[in-house]
Amino acid sequence: MQDLNDLALFAAVVKHKGFSAASRVLNIPKSKLSKHVARLEQQLDVRLLERSTRKLRVTEIGEAFYERCEMILSGVEAAEAVVAAAKSEPAGVVRLACPIGFTPMVAAILPAFHRRYPGVRLLITTSNRRIDLVEERIDIALRARAQLDTDHNLIIRKLGEASQFLVASPALMARIGNVTIDTLGSRPTLSMNEQHLSDTWHLNHTDGTKRDITHHPVIGCGDFGILERAAIEGVGIALLPDHLCGRGFRTGVLVPVLPDWCSDATIAHLAFTSRHGMLPSVRALIDFLADNLPGAMSRCTEIDPKPAMLDAAE
């Protein structure tokens, strides 16, 4: 029977595409990795890796053996996770990726999570770009997209759906006058597109009509909080999630613009992988987010109801 350490170290060399990279990730001397792989090849009496001074290539039999190794190691880790879940409270580090627009809601519920699970430490990446969970070693990705992820390596847990609506401050609407779907693109706007000077809104009418509106935003930013504040201050018309629109309408700092038009529904969901077994700490955070994040979004009413007044002399 083969030594599991030999299998694990061989798999690490293949996964990280070389002895040097695997040595850095595992913090194990390169010479030790080479010794274990050589011993494994000797015991199997096959060549798993073809080495040269500049390149490493996995042989055909090495590829097949690597796949089986991964299955074995996954099973071992899953078994260990079952034992850990049965005998211990959630603890350790969990890495969460979160879109910038969700950070206020996540921030609102995290203190309760840490009071419940004081042994769990969180490392949170806030970004609107697509996160590769495996490559970036992320345990859970919070996502909001028009469609659910179809990656068969991921497990998806749906949180809810939301649409975005056009809003503006009462002062801006009084200043620019009537807005129609045909004139919308020529009005001052705010956009989530932070890369380009122009943007296109894909809007749907309640009667089923669809329109693509190209516009040139005054501000482009991936943070809904900044766009919301700019809309309140009368900088431009914004396309904001319904929970942000709702709190603006309730306090009177925002009014609807073309209320019969909205964006496609966005599905908020969690994406995670259980390929190597799910630790109790990861499961705890998944369940906590699923139970509490929708409520945090609906309670998202923390807002200064009055636009900031700057001194005219400034």
Give tens-digit pLDDT for 118-169. 999 999 998 888 888 888 889 999 988 767 766 777 888 888 888 889 999 9
- pLDDT for position 305: 45
What secondary structure letter does DSSP report for 169? Answer: -
Phi, psi of 48 (to 5 degrees): -90, -35
Query: Do 256 and 223 belong together in one domain?
Result: yes
In a domain, 193, yes or no: yes
CATH code of residue 277: 3.40.190.10
Full residue range of the structural domain in which residue 144 is found = 92-160+266-298
Query: Do 232 and 106 belong together in one domain?
Result: no
Give tens-digit pLDDT for 13-49. 888 888 888 888 888 898 888 898 898 888 888 999 9
Q: 3-class DSSP state for residue 89? A: coil
Give tens-digit pLDDT for 252-284. 999 999 999 999 888 888 999 865 567 889 999
Query: Per-residue pLDDT averaged across 225-241, rounded?
Result: 93
In a domain, 240, yes or no: yes
Query: Do 122 and 172 belong together in one domain?
Result: no
Q: 3-class DSSP state for residue 274? A: coil
Q: How many domains does the chain have?
A: 3
d(CA 28, CA 115): 37
For residue 121 the two structure tokens come to 């430490």
Query: Per-residue pLDDT averaged across 86-99, rounded?
Result: 84
d(CA 150, CA 89): 32
CATH code of residue 11: 1.10.10.10
